[in-house]
């Protein structure tokens, strides 16, 4: 006797819909192309992104790369079913990092992984990424969308981003020229940005049993909206300063807060003295400190405390930098200075 024919089992039966993936790529074409800059060689949908570097602008061009994600802020987005801002966070976390070295972001790539593409607001996610790229002046020239059934539950996803920028090798900013007497200037953050959300969620949702629609005293909107405020992208303001000012060091204040990030650029013979009273802190940080009964030292090594990006400037360049930044709509704040020391942050 012959065996009965077995039912065909396809890739789609296993949870991966190739046709849906192809349709998604076609659907985002207009959004992606809206980020294209002069250097892009259009190869949308190909196996790699092409970018033509304008070498006439640089004497010794040095490529600068960076990669990052959004962390557990994605949990907040998924709980609120609001997905159009985390893409901005993704771009911001990457481009602000390469900016610290003086690099202009050139192009960006994204990685979106999920259990089932149809179960997530994928167009909202990409809309955020393209908005971030436009703010940064970086072209979105490639990406990967991965359906991974049994790995991610339906409705959940993860994001990773990758950026390449360029700077003249003799204009790389690494903090090596920082000396006592230099001044620290901060550009304010928009809030928690994209770091510390494991602690934020524990304090609000677990420790105090609140929901994301809770409106704390003194706030006008639910805490979930406050927490989803996207990370600021500082590229255009910072590049404007670099054109005119001899910046000695810069810091993107991310995970580890002021305490851990500033020493990354300090020579071993100086300290950064931060005046606590000068920090442009925000109500959300006061709330988190109260909810966790956290000492200042713990806050300062976890959160940005209202300072998203820092410059270290020669004293005689401060006024020029402040004027440029204010002309671009920024609200820069002098928060401290460089003193003799051993490469750490001290608070006054």
Tokens of 171: 């204009």
Question: Are 53 and 161 found together in one domain?
Answer: yes
Classify residue 4: in a domain, yes or no.
no
How much is the pLDDT for 14? 76
Tell me: do 144 and 223 sit in the same domain. no
Q: What is the mean pLDDT of the chain?
A: 94
Work out the average pLDDT over 292-307. Answer: 97
The predicted pLDDT at position 19 comes to: 77
Rounded Cα distance, 122 and 112, in Å: 9
Residue 220 pLDDT > 90: yes
Instruction: Taking residues 28-50, report their average pLDDT.
Output: 85
Are 37 and 92 contained in the same domain? Answer: yes
Q: Are 224 and 300 in the same domain? A: yes
Q: Is the pLDDT of residue 1 over 60?
A: no
Does residue 270 lie within any of the structural domains? yes
Contact in structure between 227 and 288 (CB atoms under 8 Å): no
Whether 205 and 141 share a structural domain: no
* pTM of the model as a whole: 0.94
Q: Is the pLDDT of residue 5 over 80?
A: no
Say what the pLDDT of residue 57 is.
92
| Claim to verify: residue 152 and residue 187 sit in the same structural domain | no
Q: How confident is the model at residue 44 (pLDDT cuts 50, 70, 90)?
A: confident
Q: Could you report how far apart the first and last alpha carbons of the chain are, in Å?
A: 89
Q: Which residue has the tokens 């934020």?
A: 200
pLDDT tens column, 262-275? 999 999 999 999 99
Residues 167, 246, single domain; the answer is no
Q: Of all helices (H) and strands (E), which one includes residue 320? A: helix 318-327
Q: Examine the fold and report which residue of 171, 194, 215 is the final residue of a domain before the chain moves on.
A: 171
Report the distance separating Cα 262 and Cα 240, nearest Å: 22
Clarify whether residues 96 and 201 are in a common domain.
no
Q: How many domains does the chain have?
A: 2
Of 171, 200, 220, the position where a domain reaches its end is 171
Question: Same domain, yes or no, for 56 and 203?
Answer: no
Listed ranges 115-124, 148-157, 284-293; the one with the highest mean pLDDT:
284-293
Separation CA 254–CA 310 (nearest Å): 11
CATH number of the domain that 239 lies in? 3.90.650.10
CATH number at residue 93: 3.30.1330.10
Angle at alpha carbon of residue 136, lines to 131 and 138, rounded to 5°:
90
Task: State residue 4's pLDDT score.
Answer: 63
**12 lies in a domain?**
no
In a domain, 8, yes or no: no
The more confident residue out of 68 and 2 is 68
φ, ψ for residue 41 (rounded to 5)? -100, 110
168-210 per-position pLDDT tens digit: 999 999 999 999 999 999 999 999 999 999 999 999 999 999 9
Domain span holding position 133: 18-171
The answer as to whether 189 is a domain residue is yes
Q: Last residue of a domain, which of 115, 142, 171?
A: 171
Asked whether the predicted pLDDT for residue 302 surpasses 80, the reply is yes
Residue 285 CB coordination number (10 Å): 21
**105 and 67 fall within a common domain:** yes
Whole-number CA gyration radius for the chain: 22
8 vs 274, more confident: 274
- Grade residue 289 by pLDDT with cuts at 50, 70 and 90: very high
Please tell me whether residues 335 and 199 are part of one structural domain.
yes
What DSSP string describes 100-137? TTTPEEEEEEEEEEES-GGGS-HHHHHHHHHHHHHHHT
DSSP, residue by residue, 204-244: IIIIS---TT---TT-SS-HHHHHTPPPP--HHHHHHHHHH
pLDDT at 284: 98
Residues 204 and 296 in one domain: yes
């Amino acid at each position: 006797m012959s065996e009965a024919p077995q039912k065909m089992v396809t890739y789609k039966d296993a949870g991966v819909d190739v046709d849906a993936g192809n349709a998604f790529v076609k659907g985002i074409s207009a959004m992606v192309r809206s980020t294209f800059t002069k250097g892009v060689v259009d190869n949308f949908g190909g196996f790699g992104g092409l970018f033509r570097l304008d070498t006439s602008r640089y004497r010794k061009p040095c490529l600068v790369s960076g990669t990052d994600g959004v962390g557990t802020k994605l949990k907040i987005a998924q709980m609120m079913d609001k997905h159009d801002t985390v893409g901005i966070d993704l771009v911001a976390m990457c481009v602000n990092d390469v900016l610290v070295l003086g690099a202009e972001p050139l192009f960006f790539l994204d990685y979106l992984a999920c259990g089932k593409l149809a179960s997530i607001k994928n167009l909202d996610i990409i809309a955020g990424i393209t908005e971030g790229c436009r703010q940064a002046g970086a072209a979105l020239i490639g990406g990967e969308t991965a359906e991974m059934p049994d790995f991610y539950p339906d409705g959940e996803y993860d994001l990773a981003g990758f950026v390449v920028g360029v700077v003249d090798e003799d204009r790389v900013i690494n903090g090596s020229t920082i000396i006592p007497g230099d001044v620290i200037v901060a550009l304010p953050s928009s809030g928690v940005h994209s770091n510390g959300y494991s602690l934020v969620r524990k304090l609000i949702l677990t420790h105090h049993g609140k929901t994301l629609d809770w409106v704390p005293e003194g706030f006008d909107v639910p805490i979930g909206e406050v927490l989803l405020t996207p990370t600021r992208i500082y590229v255009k303001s910072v590049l404007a300063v670099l054109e005119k000012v001899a910046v000695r060091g810069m810091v993107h204040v991310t995970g580890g807060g002021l305490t851990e990030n500033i020493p990354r650029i300090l020579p071993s013979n100086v300290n950064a003295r931060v005046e606590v009273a000068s920090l442009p802190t925000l109500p959300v940080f006061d709330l988190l400190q109260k909810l966790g009964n956290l000492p200042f030292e713990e806050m300062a090594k976890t959160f940005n405390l209202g300072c998203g990006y820092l410059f270290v400037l020669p004293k005689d360049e401060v006024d020029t930098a402040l004027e440029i930044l204010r002309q671009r709509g920024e609200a820069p704040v002098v928060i401290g200075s460089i003193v003799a020391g051993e490469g750490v942050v001290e608070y006054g």
